[in-house]
Chains A and B, each alone.
Chain A
Amino acid sequence: DADVTQTPRNRITKTGKRIMLECSQTKGHDRMYWYRQDPGLGLRLIYYSFDVKDINKGEISDGYSVSRQAQAKFSLSLESAIPNQTALYFCATSANRDTDTQYFGPGTRLTVL
């Protein structure tokens, strides 16, 4: 079984809808991250969390919110989706002892019409 899982893997929605992307991990890591990937732009950090009570904004947090429900779960929400949020979204984790190395989930492809 994969260590970092994301649901759903694909989602098509309409402008204005609320969307939640979920991430779960079995690696026992405290640190979790949400990125989005756009063609030709690499990965950009949306939010990150160093433990259950810690949430931090990343480079591009506008239009997004997150919830860290437990050590193993980190959800990303789009309160009112817009077309330029169409992208590939990745969740990642890292351990406190080796914060540099991040482990990625398989990604969620989100399309906003």
Chain B
Amino acid sequence: GNSVTQMEGPVTLSEEAFLTINCTYTATGYPSLFWYVQYPGEGLQLLLKATKADDKGSNKGFEATYRKETTSFHLEKGSVQVSDSAVYFCALSDLYSGAGSYQLTFGKGTKLSVIP
């Protein structure tokens, strides 16, 4: 079945530091890949997505590249801010996985804390 593995947190960085959150996946079909962000006390929001190999998703200074050869979708940001403190979830949606079609499979989440 499908699965998503992301690095365990929590991750604590100083403001303006470089961020990488690793994400790898296992899927039987041709998944779309996502990063969702959950700010404290809120629901999940889509941060970025990529629908095919070599696509790069980007938003709010974050970016991730769909790497089919390494089955990875690592999240990066060059300079984090205190306001980026949140939990980040990597997810995949596999449209060709039979009974699981159209469902999102989430990683366990990585909590990021950015300190001034």
A-to-B contact residues, CB < 8 Å: 4, 31, 40-45, 48, 50, 58, 90, 92, 94, 99-107
Contacts and interface: CB of A to CB of B under 8 A. Distances in A.
B89 A90 contact: no
Contacts, number: 52
Interface in B64-109: 89, 93, 95, 102-104, 106-109
B43 A99 contact: no
Interface residues of B, number: 22
B108 A106 contact: no
B34 interface: yes
Interface of B: 4, 32, 34, 36, 41-46, 49, 51, 89, 93, 95, 102-104, 106-109
A90 B49 CA distance: 20
Contact of B93 (A41, A100, A105, A106): A100
B108 A90 contact: no
Given A41-B108, A99-B93, A100-B49, A58 B43 contact: no
Contacts of B44: 43, 90, 92, 104
